[in-house]
Structure 1
Amino acid sequence: MGYSRWVLADLQVHTPADFHQKYGDVGGPSPNAAFAETLIKTHADAGVSVIVVTDHNTLAWYPELAAAGRRHGVVVFPGIEFNANKCHLMAIWDCTDDGYRRGQQFLSHLFPPNSPPALTERREPNPTTVGSPLDLVKIAAQTYGALVLAPHSTAKDIGLFARNVCNTSAQIAQSGYVAGFDVWGNEGADVLRNPRSQFGEHRPAWFISGDVRDLETVGQRAVYLKLGTPPTLESLRQAFLMPDQRIRFPEHHRTKFGRVPGLQFLDGTDPTWPRLNRVCVTGGFHDGLTIDLGPGLNAIIGGKGAGKSTTIEIVRHACAAPEPKTDDNRNNRVANFSANATATLGVVTADQQRYEITRSGDDTPPQLLRNGLDTGIDVSRRFSVSVYGQRELALLADDQKGLRQFLAISADPNLAAAHAEQERCLRELEATNTDLGKLDAALARSADSEEKLKDVRDQLEVAGQHGAEQHVAASRELTAVQAEVSAAKTWLEGVGPLAEQLRSATGRPAVREHDAVPPALISAAVEAESTIRAAVDTILDAVRLGLGRIEPAVEEHQALVQARRHQINVALADAGLTNPDELARLQRTAADLERAVAKVPAQRQRLDELHAVHSDQIEELRVARRAISQLLQTAAANLTATVGGRVRVIVQPQADRTDLQNLLTQLLAGKNVRGDQVAKLANSSPAVLVAALKSTAEQLVKLGVSENTAAKLHALTAGKVRQIEQCDTPDHIVVEINLSDTEQPRWLDVRKVSPGQKATAMLSLALVTGSNPLIIDQPEDDLDNRYIYDQVVRQLADVSNRRQVIVATHNPNIPILGDAEMILALDATIDKSRVVACGAIDEPQVADAARQILEGGDKAFRDRARRYRAAN
């Protein structure tokens, strides 16, 4: 079983059994497999997947056609066309043995024994004589369970609404026994333009059928019906109960029938919008859940704790949609979709590419797969969903950032380009601000260098006036003399140790007496040793004598140096120097400062250039932001027009000063500036505020702040002023709802109305905003049932024709009257959710689950209906 979907159906197909058939020689009027195969294959080739065989007064061909249909994927329903008092009618039964049997029983009712036969000898159909058209449609519907239709209802001589055919046509049209009325026949018939003439307050379910009698016309007058999978008689019945949602004429019929009120046209059945087509969960509370989703409206129903909200939060998590705005929704998913659980979503993107998204219950990012292989692409670049958990739509009304993002969804695609332009401007401004900051710092250092250079030059000038250079030279010469005297003394002090080393080296090695050693060698060594020792003694005596004489002279030298040094230091102090090295340091410092100061003109020129660039970039940023504002304003106007009179969206251009006020609070932190002063400043635009900052304190006072605050503002650095200059003041979005029931509107800001009225407005906007899948958890929580029926259901039905909507709900109006393509009914034990039923409402199991969950069961539903009837 699956969701309901569009199929091309022909509800009136004749066989060779028809007296007026034009198929040619196909083996006679009796059923044969060969022609059944041909007829069915021709329909399949034409894209027709559902047909009703409606020969006049016979069901003979149904078994053969049904068998051929099963081979070619064409569902064949049994039916008959009959006429009473010239009026042609059709009865259709389910494509089952029981349906076929019921059809035969009804045919026997139409032509009982002793009445004219169903077909003449020439196989022409006889009219029935057992009752009036009104009696027969009632009997067919109530007694024999048929779906009754009026074929070619405006056709001359045979159509229900043709002149002089049926004098009870209005009664039949309003009886409820005839489900649908074929427009084919007289396209200028009054009933097509003015259905009230026959239907009164009832709304007709128009359709078109082929009345096929030859292969050349197969599929030409087929109609699109939204039917369950597989189609059943209940599917057909639901289509005619909900014609606005389930019946569409092929586009090529618009020229002929476009002026018939209520008709809708469809150019192909394949959805063209992004959508989820499957959700699979392993592990966690929803272990084993596997559902196929329809491209339109899908409803998740179940009792409290069955897992409706968790299902939505799993999809949100898997698609990496923005996190829930409430802790309850966030905790719901964390508690029921554990870290070892996995969700796999089948998705179709806006360009109709198919992917899978898989994500576990932990914080690991989702993977985007194509053909089972990881693409490595971020999910958000290919697919997104708009998710509103319980109460989140109401919270959106108070969230300015969220409202702007919400509005951007339905804005012109150029909005993305405008935002990209804004980001480009901000990146370039960031680079320029960095350069300006460096130049500001460099020029600040240069300014300090200029002051230091003046001081150093003054010190050098004073030193020069007092002959500092001559005194420094004398000091340096005195230092050199000191070094020479010290070296002389050090030399003499070093000779003694050398002489002692020489004494140690004169120890003569012993040489034994031997006949191989001449006596002269030993005597020569002894004599040399004696002479060297005498020389060493002489040297040591000379050293002691020299030191005795030089030390007093050194002391006298030191006294002279000290006196001379004192004279030099006094002279240097008069020149403003603390020591001789100070002059060289000052000279080096002066050279360094002169090089730094020499760069100032070029730096100032570069600063002027950067300021000009910065001004241009600020203007480009303002242009980009104005473009964003204009596009949002257009989007707001379009949204207002789409919603239509009940809700409107107003854009107050660049009026949200929250970011500016926060920035000013940050920049003035610790300066004892009161909050009311900051708020007054934030009332001005950044451009006005910066102009005042660059002017005088009086200009700031004119903006409403005190002189004290103005002084503190003037102390802000250039970098902080630039932060203010590029601060964003985005649009302020106001959503208003019309609370008047008269022609005179009464608009109120949704932030000032009741929760129900607020939810009403935000739900209306959410339904028409964007084209990506819209997922809402229990939108009815703050809404009254009357509004759900009057507004939400109508909007859901309309929006679901061009956008996928998934709603978790416990309100029966949404899935039933909204005609959900797929209803997922959930129940749960303590630790696990389970699927009770899944599919279209056409399926008995789904319908039963919906009655039990949404209505409290058949008895409760009947008891309420009885009470309502009693009250009337």
Structure 2
Amino acid sequence: MSKLFDSATVKEQEAGTRSPSSEGGVKAVAPIALIRSLPATGERRSPRTLIFTETKAIVDDLKAKVTQAEKTSRRRWLRPRPTSASSSLAGTHAGPYDAKLSAELKKVDPESSLTALRTHLDTLQTKVATASAAKDELTDEAIPALKSLEDRRNELLDELHAARKERREARRTRVDELNAKTAGFVKLDVPSEGDYTEFREALNRLKVGSRAREEVVDAIAKFTHPFRFVRALWGGDVNELVDDDKGIDAATVARLLANIDERNLWEDLLAAQLIDRPDVLTVRFRKPDDGMYTPIEDLAHGQRCTAILVILLADGDTPVLVDQPEDALHAPWIEEYLVDRLRNLRGSRQYVFATRSPGIVVSGDAEQIVTMKATAGHGEVEASGSLERHDLNKLALHHLEGGPIPFSRRTQKLQASTQ
């Protein structure tokens, strides 16, 4: 452009204007041969004015072409990717501009080009279409199907929970019947919390990394049913599980819920909902010395055997066979517990004892006594019947008391304590 304002050139232009037909004039204006026409009017203008006018027209024309090329390129980017034939044609029409634009893109990112951008755009459009189809399928099919499955699962869980509850109530009814038959010697119970060991182990897996306090987790395992625990957390209802009286605070429950979500333990949570807390039968025995009921786990061996035998005698109506109970029972308790039960339950079922205890045979008022003798090879019946039979009475005295002489000695020496 600087040549347009060169003073020598201007002078040559002036000469060319005065003498359009001269050869030198034509050659002089060769540098500005892009000027399309002179003003149509007959008005004479100065050479400088003509130069500026024609130059502005050239610049405006170039700007319009550049703007049109940019619009054409943008429309091409937004159209679907052309076939090889159409792509070749497009490259023919917009080749120079595309090449220039590609060069500018490579200055910013060496890996970029118009072809790469168009390919990336096609890929994104394909992904958008796939995502849109997936969204429609999720909204129209998957979510309703999931809701239906959740509803069905909850129905089955309700049925399972009701069946377990019915089973527990049946066991408690049976326990009440047994308590009535044991005459207060033994108390049985089926606690509502059951055995929560398995549920506590499941909570251990769910709490890893949550920094939940152990005593709160223990309280959840003991006082919260797995069914209720999982349903509350699945619905995000932390306050449903809070129980200040039991030591279950909202902060600990919220930590458990956050940990389950962060570690994606939802499947483990749902599995915990199926855990059963098996019913536990607690047995307490009333001691004769203080009359207090003591858990069977805290009793001595003989006391445990007494408690179990009292329950055995009261439970059912089928025959009962007991082998030498005196080996495990304290002698006074045979009279206080066992004999008392045998007398009160007489006629309800048949009891068969293999025993040397005079308390069971005599104090229990046995209706049928069978005495036996044995050798190394075999045993045989000596006699059978009741104590009213003289021969059987003598055999009973021999087997139970060691004979008349030991019995007389004990009677003489212990008789003072009976008065």
Shorter chain as denominator, the TM-score bin is 0.5 to 0.7
Distance 1:690 1:592, change over 3 A: closer
Q: Which residue of 2 aligns with 1:650?
A: 189
Structure 1 residues 695 and 576: CA distance shift in structure 2, 3 A: same
Residue of structure 2 aligned with 1:660, choices 181, 187, 199:
199
Q: Choose from 147, 152, 173 the match for 1:613.
A: 152
**CA shift digits 1:553-572 (9 cap, x unpaired):** xxxxxxxxxxxxxxxx9554
Find out whether 1:721 has 2:264 as its counterpart: no
CA distance in 2, matches of 1:835, 1:711: 74
Whole-Å Cα distance in 1 between the matches of residues 412 and 139 of structure 2?
A: 95
**Residue type matched to 1:796 in 2?**
L
Structure 1 residues 304-343: aligned runs within 5 Å: none
Distance 1:740 1:857 in 2: 32
Report the alpha carbon displacement of residue 587 of structure 1 after superposing the two structures with TM.
5.6
Is the partner of 2:282 in helix, strand or coil? strand
Matched, 1:774 2:320: yes
Distance change >3 Å, CA 669–CA 828, structure 1 → 2: farther
Distance 1:731 1:591 in 2: 53
2:258 alignment counterpart = 711
User: Which one of the candidate residues 341, 356, 359 is aligned to 1:795?
Assistant: 341
Paired positions, count: 310
So what's the TM-score if we normalise by structure 2? 0.56
Which of residues 360, 381, 384 in structure 2 aligns to 1:837? 381
Work out whether 1:784 is the aligned partner of 2:333.
no
Q: Residue 236 of structure 2 is aligned with which of 695, 706, 709?
A: 695
What are the superposed Cα offsets for residues 163-213 of structure 1, whole Å, 9 maximum, x if unpaired?
xxxxxxxxxxxxxxxxxxxxxxxxxxxxxxxxxxxxxxxxxxxxxxxxxxx
- CA deviation vs aligned residue, 1:454-503 (integer Å, no higher than 9, x gap): xxxxxxxx9x93767326668999xxxxxxxxxxxxxxxxxxxxxxxxxx
Change in Cα spacing, 1:607 to 1:824, as seen in structure 2 (3 Å) is: farther
Alignment of 1:166-315 (within 5 A): none
CA deviations over 1:495-526 (Å, ceiling 9, x no partner): xxxxxxxxxxxxxxxxxxxxxxxxxxxxxxxx
Distance 1:838 1:718 in 2: 73
- Superposed displacement of residue 788, structure 1: 0.8
Per the alignment, residue 574 of structure 1 pairs with 117
Aligned counterparts of 1:666 and 1:849: Cα–Cα separation in 2:
67
Q: What's the counterpart of residue 284 of structure 2?
A: 736
Structure-2 separation of matches of 1:708 and 1:675 = 13
Q: Tell me the distance in 2 between the aligned counterparts of 1:866 and 1:605.
A: 92
The answer to whether the Cα contact below 8 Å between 1:653 and 1:730 also exists between their aligned partners in 2 is: no
SS in 2 for 1:681: helix
Q: Which of these two proteins has the greater Rg computed from alpha carbons?
A: 2
Paired residue secondary structure (2:147): helix
SS in 2 for 1:793: helix
Contact 2:185-2:337 within 8 A present in 1 as well: no
Residues 777 and 807 in structure 1, CA contact (< 8 A), matched pair in contact too: yes
Give the 3 Å change call, closer, same or farther, for CA 716–466 of structure 1 in structure 2. Answer: closer
- How far apart, CA to CA, are the structure 1 residues paired with 2:336 and 2:154? 55
Match among 457, 470, 489 for residue 82 of structure 2: 470
Q: Deviations over 1:737-762 (max 9, x none)?
A: 344679xx644444444444443333
SS in structure 2 of the partner of residue 840 of structure 1: strand
Q: What residue identity is the alignment partner of 2:225?
A: S
Displacement after TM superposition at 1:605 (Å): 1.7
Kindly indicate whether structure 1 or structure 2 has the higher relative contact order, using CA contacts under 8 Å at least 6 residues apart. Answer: 1
Distance 2:142 2:128 in 1: 21
Q: Which amino acid aligns with 1:712?
A: N
1:642 Cα deviation from its structure 2 partner: 1.7
Shift, 1:769, TM fit: 0.8
Q: Separation in 2 of the partners of 1:838 and 1:589?
A: 100
Q: Residues of 1 paired with 2:116 and 2:319: CA distance?
A: 88
Deviation of the 1:632 alpha carbon: 2.6
Cα–Cα, structure 1 residues 840 and 679, in superposed 2: closer, same or farther, change >3 Å? Answer: farther
Query: Could you list the runs of 5+ residues in structure 1 that have no partner in the other structure?
Result: 1-461, 478-568
Give 3-state SS (helix, strand or coil) of 2:379's partner. Answer: strand
Paired residue for 1:640?
Answer: 179
CA RMSD of superposed structures (Å) = 4.7
Please list, as runs of the form range in 1=range in 2, the aligned pairs for 1:362-441 lying within 5 A after superposition: none
Q: Check conservation: 1:822, 1:838, Cα contact below 8 A.
A: no
1:686 maps onto 2:226 in alignment: yes
Q: Which residue of 2 aligns with 1:864?
A: 410
Q: Name the CA shift for 1:700/1:642 in 2 (closer, same or farther; >3 Å).
A: closer
Q: Deviations over 1:595-636 (max 9, x none)?
A: 795265223223222322333333333333333333333322
- Give the Cα separation in 1 of the matches to 2:217 and 2:375: 55
Which residue of structure 1 lines up, in the alignment, with residue 66 of structure 2?
none
Between structures 1 and 2, the one with greater helix share: 2
Q: Taking every aligned residue pair, what percent have the same amino acid on both sides?
A: 22
| TM-score, with length taken from structure 1 | 0.30
Q: CA deviation at 1:763?
A: 1.9
Asked if structure 2 preserves the Cα contact closer than 8 Å seen for 1:821 and 1:840, the reply is yes
Q: CA–CA distance in 2 between the matches of 1:774 and 1:846? A: 24
User: 1:629 touches 1:654 (CA, 8 Å); kept in 2?
Assistant: no
Asked if the contact 1:468–1:572 (Cα under 8 Å) also holds between the matched residues in 2, the reply is no
Equivalent residue, structure 2, for 1:9: none
Give the 5 Å matches for 1:846-861. 854-857=400-403, 859-861=405-407
Please state whether the residue corresponding to 2:82 is helix, strand or coil: helix
For structure 2, list consecutive stretches of 5 or more residues without a partner in the other structure.
1-73, 90-111
Which amino acid in 2 is paired with 1:641?
A
Task: Tell me which protein shows more strand as a share of its residues.
Answer: 1
